Structure 1
Amino acid sequence: MAKLKLGPIADDKPVKVTLELPASLHRDLVAYAEVLAQESGQPATDPNRLIAPMLERFMATDRAFKKSRRIMTDER
């Protein structure tokens, strides 16, 4: 089985955000939650709970964002 980029979902105090997703993206989130459940051996996570960790992972691995953020921090 393939190793997913997303690991276990941390239980953290959330901030409420409302957004609309294309139906195809929601279907992919549901499928991802199912694969994650199979890989971890735990019950399926609500697909909506995957969005924040995926965004965190994306930003953490975006080199241009990290560089820009470092420059912005140095300017303050």
Structure 2
Amino acid sequence: MSLRIGRLPDRTPVKLTISVEPELASALADYAAIYAETYSADEKPEALVPAMLDMFLSSDAGFKRARKALHARASKGE
């Protein structure tokens, strides 16, 4: 059978535990407060961080090039 979409990738969330400096924790709390004002939706900072990281990584052209090269080397067995 042939379907338009291929098999979906693993979407099982991976839990990471991090520690941040107090200043960053305060900035994240402020961001969550501003988010709540903007969208009328309360979200905890820890719920916003994955989207922040995703946006950061997807906008970093140097990271994208280096990651592509890394995976190319890995697939060649280097």
Common topology (TM > 0.5) = yes
Residues in 2 aligned to 1:26 and 1:19: alpha-carbon distance in whole angstroms: 11
Q: Following the alignment from structure 1 to structure 2, what is the Cα–Cα distance between the partners of residues 32 and 54?
A: 11
CA distance in 1, matches of 2:51, 2:71: 23
- Counterpart of 1:38, as a letter, is E
Among all aligned residue pairs of Structure 1 and Structure 2, give the percentage whose two residues are the same amino acid. Answer: 28
Higher RCO (C-alpha 8 Å, min separation 6): 1
Supply the distance in 2 between the matched residues of 1:14 and 1:34 (Cα, whole angstroms): 25
Look up the match of 1:22.
21
Stretches of structure 2 that go unaligned for 5 or more consecutive residues are 1-10
Moved over 4 A (4+): none
Q: Identify the residue that residue 5 of structure 1 maps to in structure 2.
A: none
* Partners of 1:74 and 1:18 in 2: CA distance: 30
Work out which of the residue numbers 34, 41, 44 in structure 2 matches 1:46. Answer: 44
Structure 1 residues not aligned, in runs of 5+: 1-11
What RMSD, in angstroms, separates the aligned Cα atoms of the two structures? 1.7
The alignment covers a number of residue pairs equal to 64
Task: String of CA shifts for 1:11-65, please: whole Å, max 9, x gaps.
Answer: x8532211111111111101000111111122x2011112211111110000101
Residue 72 of structure 1, CA deviation:
2.5
Point out the structure with max Rg over C-alpha.
2
Map residues 59-74 of structure 1 onto 2, 5 A cutoff: 59-74=57-72
